[in-house]
Structure 1
Amino acid sequence: MLIKNTIPLLILATLFLSSCRRSANTEVSSLLLPDKTARLEWFREAKFGLFIHWGPYSQLAGGWAGRQVPVGENAEWIMQKLEIPRDTYHTLARQFNPTLFDAEAWAQLAQDAGMKYLVITAKHHDGFAMYHSEASPYNITDYTPFGRDPLQELAAACRKRGIRFGLYYSHREDWDEPHAYGNTWDFDFDPPDSMELFEQRYLNTKAKPQVEELLANFDSLAIIWFDRGLYTPQQAQEFIDLIRIRQPWCLINGRVGSYEQELLGDFQNMNDNGMPPGGIEEYWETPQTLNETWGYSRYDQKWKSTPEVIEKLVAVASRGGNYLLNVGPTGEGVIPGESVKVLKQVGRWMQHNSESIYGATGSPFLDIPWGYCTVKGRALYLHVFHPPGDGVLALEGLTTVANTAYLLMNPKKRLPFTQNGPVLRIELPSVLPDTINTVIVAELAGPPEVLPPLSPADSNGVFRLGHYTARTFGSAVKRFNRKGKFHISKWAAPQDSACWHFEVEQPRDFELSITYAAQADWVGQPYILQSDGQVIEAQVVETGDWYDYQTFVLDTISFREPGRKKLTIHPAAELSGYLMYLKSVEMRPVE
Structure 2
Amino acid sequence: MTHQGTPKQVAIPHAPWFTEDRLGMFVHWGLYSLAARHEWVMNYEQIAVEDYRKYFEHFDPDLYDAREWAAAAKNAGMKYVVLTTKHHDGFVLWDSALTEYKSTNTPCGQDLLAPYVQALREAGLKVGFYHSVIDWHHPDFAIDAVHSERNNPDWRELNKTRTGALYREYLHGQVRELLSNYGQIDYLFFDFSYPEMSTATADGEPQFRGKGADDWGSVELMAMIRKLQPGIIVNDRLGVPGDFVTPEQYQPAGPMLSGGKEVPWEACQTLNGSWGYDRDNLNYKSSDQLIRMLIDGVSKGGNLLLNVGPTARGNIDPRAHEALEGIGEWLRLHGRSIYGAGASGFEVPADARYTQRGSRLYLHLFAWPFQFVHLPGLAGKVRYAQLLNDASEVDMMVLDSDQVAGHMTPAGQAPGTLTLKLPVQQPNVRVPVVELFLNTATKEPTTERD
Q: TM-score range by the shorter chain?
A: 0.7 to 0.9
Is 1:178 equivalent to 2:121 in the alignment? no
The question of whether the paired residues in 1 share the 8 Å contact of 2:140 and 2:162 is answered with no
The question of whether the paired residues in 2 share the 8 Å contact of 1:40 and 1:266 is answered with no
Aligned counterparts of 1:287 and 1:128: Cα–Cα separation in 2: 22
The question of whether the paired residues in 2 share the 8 Å contact of 1:178 and 1:189 is answered with no
Alignment correspondent of 1:384: 365
Deviation at 1:189, TM superposition (A): 5.7
- Is there any run of 5+ residues in structure 2 with no aligned partner, and where? 1-10, 194-210, 257-261, 401-414
Alignment correspondent of 1:413: 393
RMSD: 2.6
Point out the more displaced range, 53-62 or 222-231: 222-231
Deviation at 1:80, TM superposition (A): 1.0
Is 1:245 equivalent to 2:227 in the alignment? yes
The question of whether the paired residues in 1 share the 8 Å contact of 2:387 and 2:394 is answered with yes
Deviation at 1:196, TM superposition (A): 9.6
| Alignment counterpart, residue 145 of structure 1, candidates 107, 115, 127 | 107
Deviation at 1:240, TM superposition (A): 1.1
Aligned counterparts of 1:419 and 1:201: Cα–Cα separation in 2: 72
Aligned counterparts of 2:24 and 2:43: Cα–Cα separation in 1: 28
Alignment correspondent of 2:122: 160
Alignment correspondent of 1:235: 217
The question of whether the paired residues in 2 share the 8 Å contact of 1:152 and 1:218 is answered with yes
Alignment correspondent of 1:438: 432
The higher relative CO (CA closer than 8 Å, separation ≥ 6) is in 2
Letter matched to residue 176 of structure 1: H
| Alignment counterpart, residue 166 of structure 2, candidates 201, 209, 223 | 201
Alignment correspondent of 1:324: 305
Is 1:309 equivalent to 2:290 in the alignment? yes
Letter matched to residue 228 of structure 2: R
Is 1:51 equivalent to 2:31 in the alignment? no
What TM-score results when the alignment is normalised by the length of structure 2?
0.82
Alignment correspondent of 2:84: 121
The question of whether the paired residues in 2 share the 8 Å contact of 1:169 and 1:227 is answered with yes
- Where 1:40 maps in the other structure, the secondary structure is coil
Letter matched to residue 140 of structure 2: H
Alignment correspondent of 1:268: 245
Alignment correspondent of 2:17: 42
Deviation at 1:302, TM superposition (A): 0.8
What TM-score results when the alignment is normalised by the length of structure 1?
0.63
Aligned counterparts of 1:321 and 1:176: Cα–Cα separation in 2: 35
Alignment correspondent of 1:277: 253
Q: Kindly tell me: are residues 384 and 418 of structure 1, through their superposed partners in 2, closer, same or farther at Cα, counting changes over 3 Å?
A: same
Q: Kindly tell me: are residues 400 and 358 of structure 1, through their superposed partners in 2, closer, same or farther at Cα, counting changes over 3 Å?
A: farther
The question of whether the paired residues in 1 share the 8 Å contact of 2:349 and 2:374 is answered with no
Alignment correspondent of 1:299: 280
Aligned counterparts of 2:228 and 2:321: Cα–Cα separation in 1: 35
Aligned counterparts of 1:178 and 1:242: Cα–Cα separation in 2: 24
Letter matched to residue 324 of structure 2: L
- Where 1:37 maps in the other structure, the secondary structure is coil
The question of whether the paired residues in 1 share the 8 Å contact of 2:396 and 2:420 is answered with yes
Aligned counterparts of 2:320 and 2:422: Cα–Cα separation in 1: 33
Aligned counterparts of 2:43 and 2:349: Cα–Cα separation in 1: 43
Deviation at 1:194, TM superposition (A): 8.8
Deviation at 1:86, TM superposition (A): 0.6
Alignment correspondent of 1:32: none
The question of whether the paired residues in 1 share the 8 Å contact of 2:95 and 2:102 is answered with yes
- Where 1:431 maps in the other structure, the secondary structure is coil
| Alignment counterpart, residue 188 of structure 1, candidates 155, 163, 168 | 155
Alignment correspondent of 1:518: none
Q: Kindly tell me: are residues 137 and 410 of structure 1, through their superposed partners in 2, closer, same or farther at Cα, counting changes over 3 Å?
A: same
The question of whether the paired residues in 1 share the 8 Å contact of 2:347 and 2:376 is answered with no
Deviation at 1:123, TM superposition (A): 0.4
Alignment correspondent of 1:342: 323
Alignment correspondent of 1:374: 355
The question of whether the paired residues in 1 share the 8 Å contact of 2:141 and 2:162 is answered with no
Deviation at 1:342, TM superposition (A): 1.0
Residues 65-144 of structure 1: matches in 2 within 5 Å?
Answer: 75-141=38-104, 143-144=105-106
Q: Deviations over 1:297-339 (max 9, x none)?
A: 1110111011111111111111110000001111111211100
Q: Deviations over 1:383-439 (max 9, x none)?
A: 1120122x1121224477111111112335243333774322111122332342111
Is 1:60 equivalent to 2:35 in the alignment? yes
- Is there any run of 5+ residues in structure 1 with no aligned partner, and where? 1-35, 63-74, 258-262, 450-474, 478-489, 491-591
Is 1:356 equivalent to 2:332 in the alignment? no
Q: Kindly tell me: are residues 132 and 365 of structure 1, through their superposed partners in 2, closer, same or farther at Cα, counting changes over 3 Å?
A: farther
| Alignment counterpart, residue 402 of structure 1, candidates 372, 376, 382 | 382
| Alignment counterpart, residue 223 of structure 1, candidates 180, 183, 187 | 187
The question of whether the paired residues in 1 share the 8 Å contact of 2:12 and 2:18 is answered with no
The question of whether the paired residues in 2 share the 8 Å contact of 1:155 and 1:165 is answered with yes
Alignment correspondent of 2:405: none
Alignment correspondent of 2:7: none
Higher normalized strand content (fraction of residues): 1
- Rg comparison, structure with higher value: 1
Q: Kindly tell me: are residues 144 and 156 of structure 1, through their superposed partners in 2, closer, same or farther at Cα, counting changes over 3 Å?
A: same
The question of whether the paired residues in 1 share the 8 Å contact of 2:131 and 2:190 is answered with yes
| Alignment counterpart, residue 425 of structure 1, candidates 419, 422, 425 | 419
